[in-house]
Every structure is written in structure tokens, then in C-alpha cells.
Chain A
Amino acid sequence: MTPLALLFTSQLTHLGPVDIAILLLYFAMVIFIGFYVKGSTNTSEEFFLAGREMSAWIAGLAFVSANLGSLELMGWAGSAYQYGILATHWYWIGAIPAMLFLGIVMMPFYYISKTHSVPGYLQLRFGEGARALSAVSFGFMTVLMSGVNMYSMALVMKVVLGWDITFSIWVGAITVAIYVTLGGLRSAIINEVLQFVLIWAGAALIPILGLIEAGGWSNLKVLITARAGVEYTHMWSTLGHYSSNPMGVNWTGIVFGLGFVISFGYWTTDFLVVQRVLSANNLRAARLAPIIGAAFKMFVPFFVIIPGLLALVLLKDSSGHLIQLYPDGSPEVLHGAHSFNEVLPLMMVRYLGPGLLGLGITALIAGFMSGMAGNVSAFSTVWTYDIYGAYINKKASDKHYVAMGRWSTVIGMGVSIITAYWVMGAASIMDYVQQLFSFFIAPLFGTVILGMLWKRATKAGGFWGLLAGTGASIFMWQMVLHDKTNIRFMILEPHASADTIDRVQAMAANLYRGLWSWVVCVLVTVIVSYMTKPTPDSELVGLVYGTTIIPDDGSNKIYEKPIFWAVVVATVLFILNLWLW
């Protein structure tokens, strides 16, 4: 939603006393948890990694919840309205295989290396250069993302409830600052679990009531086909060519760009989510946590994608005519029409009366605050361990680092507030900040995966590969920003039509940029590694396959083994994709 939209969109609804009671109950509990947890957050291990004592279920729910921000929920519900069921790919092939891979293949290395962070692993494997590059870029990005979350929450509260933007920014920021500064990651994780439950409780009624109104799933598909076309209800059969589906993507983009590079990059190397799993209390819990997260992730489309699809055929005005939604910033939105991103709040208002509406709004606010808390807690960890502790003050006491963690949380929130006001002044910054993440994530995955699986990769190879991949990503982004028709080189179709370019531009450009930047990173890493002296095996113990004996995780029976549950989740995912082929 753009700031301009505020000027023309009147608020959708207002909260009654019952709704406010639920909202206040949530805020009271969040603040209480911060003060309660502070008593058991005294060492750096407790503050930054929640004492590494979380069970698989808690680490798994926090892992999936850290990615279940409200910005994402509202955005993907809008994408489902705009592109149909294709949006589900971002939840299934775009997440589940990577989460299972993290649990089965990568987690043992993160866990037994006893690293505190992903940049910390890079330091152990590739030295200081790779760590500094990833720590600085990650720290910079997380505080900006926290600010984007903060502004988005304020904007949604303004559009939905008519709340003042400054009021929302400060209430959100102060609340998050209190509970993360006091309780660190432990406090953030507890709130992520609460947020997870709230989102399920607050949003699940929308698809249930919507499907009743539509006359069931089969009838919904018939209605969507009549209104928008049969391609809105199929996940794979329309992916033969860019022009045969509403998203302008073909199967190579979905499978290799999204399913491999973007998804694996995000779920296996973004410290924001990996940090949750590092808090697990043993190796088996650390391997099971992403698998439990994947099982829950598989069902998120039920309350994100289905409401978007339902809105296509059920969202009507008071005179019974279907409401048409438009892209943000379009002339129609500027003149008072609703945007795609408002689908979820509009469906909430349609089905949820007093009390239930308060629960839904509380879930959205919890999602935004959890997004801020996740970013700021990851920032304080990377700042304290990988920047401050690594380069500024190497020999401080543990108590000093905990104090630095608390202070960096407060300062991180301060920078987030500045970012929020900055974004308010120029909405295009928000798009840039969100794209910045993709500059670093895809090449980082190339560096980490080669580091874990290929012992010949050297320190110089890792550093130069990461730098080249990141540079290639920024170059491609600039190239398309300068002239959007350049995108035809990224999709290997030099003679692509203007229509194809427009379709790819909207959604698929990130996928292809990620794919190519990963390829550049891997190629440069391999070439430089072969040009430089191999690292002795003795220095790679605990860091790379082939030099490391993975310790037994203690599971004896088949149903205790992480691989068993990974196969179960993968099988269900396969069946669901076949069903919606």
C-alpha cells in the first residue's frame, strides 16, 4: 500500500470494546513475558540463543513463525487474488524442500560446529573476509526490514482501523523493544509461538466460512474458472510458457529459481530463521525442528491463498456486485478503490463480527511485531558476535556482550523507527529494501552449500565467490532498472515479446536474478578454489561432509528418526501438488 493510498481510502472498519479487550490481553501478555523471561536471560548463550534449550516443537514453530509476518500474509493473499493458485508455489516448492534439506543435510554442520550465527559458520569455514561481508550486509538489511515491518503495520492499522501512523509506529516499537531487550531470543521465540497460534485462530475461520458460502472447493473452482479463467486453479499444467499463466513464469523459474536457489537460500542461510533452530536443545531436536516447521508451513495456504481465491468470486459490495481490486498505486486505487493487498482485511470484515475481528486484527499486529522482533534479535546477535566482538572489542566479558546485545536491540529499534519514517516519505524505498535481501541471499546459499559439501572449496574461493555473486545480482538489478527489456537476457529469450517482458517483470525477475547470481557465485568459487592451495582436512573437521563424522542423534525407532518424518512431509507435498496439478 502506498502512502498516497491513505489519502483516498477510508478506513474499512473499527474495533468495538470486545475487540479492544482481546488486543489489550495480547499486549499485556507480551510485556509480562518480557519481564518474566529477563530473570533467566543472563549469559550470552541465554540472550542470543535462548540457552539452546528449546524443544523441537518450539524451535520448529518459531522457525516457521519467523517467516509468517503479516506483510507476507497480506501480500500473498493479494497475489492469490491477482495470480490465482500459482501463488501457492511460494509456500510449497518454494519452502518445503529447502526446510527438509536444512533439517536432514545442513543442520548437523550448523549445530555441531557450535556456531552462534551463519556469518559465524562462514568465519570457521572461509575466514574473516566472508564473515565480514555477510555480517555487515545482513545487519544492515535486518534493521531496514524491521523498519519496513514497522511502517507496514502502521499503514495497515491506518487503512483498516483509521489509527494514527505515528501512534502505531511508537506503540509497536516500544513494545518490541521492551520484550526483546529484556528477554532476547527466548522472549522473541515465546512471542513467535503465541503469534503462530493467534494467526491460526484468527485467520482459519475466513476460509472455513468462505468455502461454506462458495458451496465447497469444487464449486469454488467452477466459479473461479467462470470469472478469471481455468489457469487460476492449476499449479503446474500452465507452466509450459511465460505467456500461458497469469504470473509470467515458466517451470524452470519455479523449479530452479524459486524451488532451488531462492528457497534454499532463504530457508537454509538467512540467519533470521536459522537462529530459531540453533536454539534447539540437542541435535535431534535441531534436525526435527525444520521438519515440524515444514509440516505446518504446508497448510499455511489454507488461510492465505484460499481467502484470495474466495475474494475473486465472493467479495461483493452492498448492492451485490463483485468488487474489483487493483494494483497498489494504480489510478483506481488512488481514486478510492481497494488494492490487492487489502484482500485479507476485506475478507476479515466480511466474515468476522465483534470479538472474532479483534482476534484477527490482534493476529495481524502480532505478525508485524514478531517480524520486527525477529529482525532486531537477529541483528543484535550478528552485531554483537560478528561485528562488535570480532572486530571492535574481542576480549570483553560475557556480561559485557549481553549488555551490548541489549543496547544494540534498543539502537536497532531506533534505526528501524528512522527507517519507518524514511519509507513513509518515499514509498519506492520499501520496494528497494525488500529487493535488497534477494541481492545477498542467493549467492550466500552458493557459498554455504559449497562450504558444507565440497572440501576443496578454499577461503579465497568462498570470499570471491560470495562477492562476485552479490555483485552480479546488483548488476542485473541495475540492468533491468535501467531498461526493463534487458530482462530478456536473464530468461534466455533475446526476442521475447513486450507482453512476456511485462509479465516476467512483475513476479519472475527475482527468481531469474537469484538463479544467475547463484551460478556466478558457484562458478567463481570453484575456479578460485582450484587456483588456490587446498585447506588441510584437519582444519575442516566439523564443518564439511567427508571430514566430519556426524554424531548419533539418539533416535532408535523408525518414527523417532528425522528422515522418516521428512519422507512423510515430502510425500504429502507430492500428493497435494498432484491434486492441484
Chain B
Amino acid sequence: MSTPDPSTEQSLSIWFFVGVLTLGSGLIIFCQGIYEFSHPATTILADLHPAFWWGLLMTLFGAFYTLRFRPGKG
């Protein structure tokens, strides 16, 4: 599975789009998660702070893909 990925040879890779979408959504959810420490959501198990942790996970995943497949990196 080490075949070069021709889609990354374009100026913008498919994985770059994946990274940007995940990073953008993740940051929004992460910020909401921080806000919910002082204004808890009314959902079940909100005390586990799912928005904070899930947002953090998505942000890290998205940041990795955005940087790894950024334009010009090839």
C-alpha cells in the first residue's frame, strides 16, 4: 500500500480538504466545549464534556492532515 498517491500531486490534495474540514469543525466544537465548562449542555452525560474532548481530537486530526498535505508539500 505504498503506491504514490497521484491525487497529492495536484496543488490541493483530497486529504488536505479532509484536514481543513475536520480542523475547522473541530475548532468550533472545541471552543464550544470550553464554553460548556461554565454553561453545561442539557444533554445526557454532558458532565463527561464530550464537546471538549471530541473537538480536541478532531482539531488534532485535522491539523495533522492539513499540515501533512498542505499545498506544495507533495
Contact = CB atoms under 8 A, between A and B. Distances in A.
Q: Do A and B bind each other?
A: yes
Contact of A213 (B12, B24, B44): B44
Contact of A57 (B5, B46, B54): B5
Interface stretch (A20-28, A76-84, A464-472): A20-28
Contacts of B6: 53-55, 281
Interface centre among B20, B21, B22 (most CB of A within 10 A): B21
B25 A201 contact: yes
Given A54-B7, A56-B3, A197-B21, A190 B14 contact: yes
Nearest to A282: B3
Contacts of A137: none
A198 B20 CA distance: 12
Contacts of A560: 1-2
A351 B47 CA distance: 11
Given A29-B20, A33-B17, A355-B28, A288 B54 contact: no
A540 interface: no
Interface bin, chain A: 35 or more
A571 interface: no
Contact of B17 (A29, A54, A281, A282): A29
A322 to B, nearest CB: 14
Interface string B11-43: 010100110111011001100110010000111
Interface bin, chain B: 20 to 34
B17 A351 contact: no
Given A18-B32, A282-B3, A356 B18 contact: no
B56 interface: no
B58 A201 contact: yes
A284 interface: yes
A193 B32 contact: no
Interface string B42-71: 111110101100110010000000000000
A198 B21 contact: yes
A547 interface: no
B3 A55 contact: yes
Given A53-B6, A57-B5, A197-B18, A356 B29 contact: yes
Nearest to B36: A353
Contact of A354 (B5, B20, B41, B48): B41
B3 A285 contact: yes
Contacts of A29: 17, 20-21
B58 A354 contact: no
Given A351-B43, A355-B33, A194 B18 contact: yes
A209 B41 contact: no
Contact of B7 (A55, A194, A201, A205): A55
Nearest to B10: A40
Contacts of A212: 45, 48
A172 B3 CA distance: 36
Given A193-B14, A205-B54, A353 B42 contact: yes
A356 to B, nearest CB: 6
A209 B6 CA distance: 39
B50 A356 contact: yes
A359 interface: yes
Nearest to A560: B1
B21 A209 contact: no
Contacts of A456: none
A192 B18 CA distance: 11
A329 B54 CA distance: 37
Contacts of B55: 355
Nearest to A565: B1
Q: Summarize A's interface: helix, strand, loop or mixed.
A: helix
A58 B7 contact: yes
A212 B42 CA distance: 17
B25 A25 contact: yes
Given A36-B12, A355-B51, A194 B28 contact: no
Contact of A209 (B17, B18, B45): B45
Nearest to A356: B51
B22 A205 contact: no
A26 B20 CA distance: 10
A58 B14 CA distance: 8
Contacts of B29: 18, 22, 355-356, 359
Given A25-B21, A359-B25, A209 B5 contact: no
Contacts of A352: 43, 50
A234 interface: no
A201 B22 contact: yes
Nearest to B45: A209
Contacts of B44: 209, 213, 350-351
Nearest to A554: B3
B1 A353 contact: no
A350 B50 CA distance: 13
Interface string A260-286: 000000000000000000000110110
B8 to A, nearest CB: 8
A6 B55 CA distance: 34
Given A29-B21, A209-B48, A355-B29, A53 B54 contact: no
Interface of B: 1-3, 5-7, 10, 12, 14, 17-18, 20-22, 24-25, 28-29, 32-33, 36, 41-46, 48, 50-51, 54-55, 58
Query: Which 7 interchain pairs have the tightest Cβ spacing?
Result: A353-B41, A355-B32, A355-B29, A55-B5, A53-B6, A353-B43, A25-B24
30 contacts: A18-B28, A18-B29, A21-B28, A29-B17, A36-B12, A40-B10, A54-B7, A55-B5, A55-B7, A57-B5, A58-B5, A58-B7, A58-B14, A194-B17, A194-B18, A197-B18, A197-B22, A201-B22, A201-B25, A209-B48, A209-B50, A212-B48, A281-B6, A288-B1, A351-B50, A352-B50, A353-B42, A353-B46, A355-B55, A560-B2
Given A58-B7, A193-B17, A209-B45, 16 more contacts: A22-B29, A40-B10, A53-B6, A55-B5, A55-B7, A190-B14, A194-B18, A197-B22, A198-B21, A212-B45, A281-B6, A282-B3, A285-B3, A352-B50, A353-B41, A356-B50
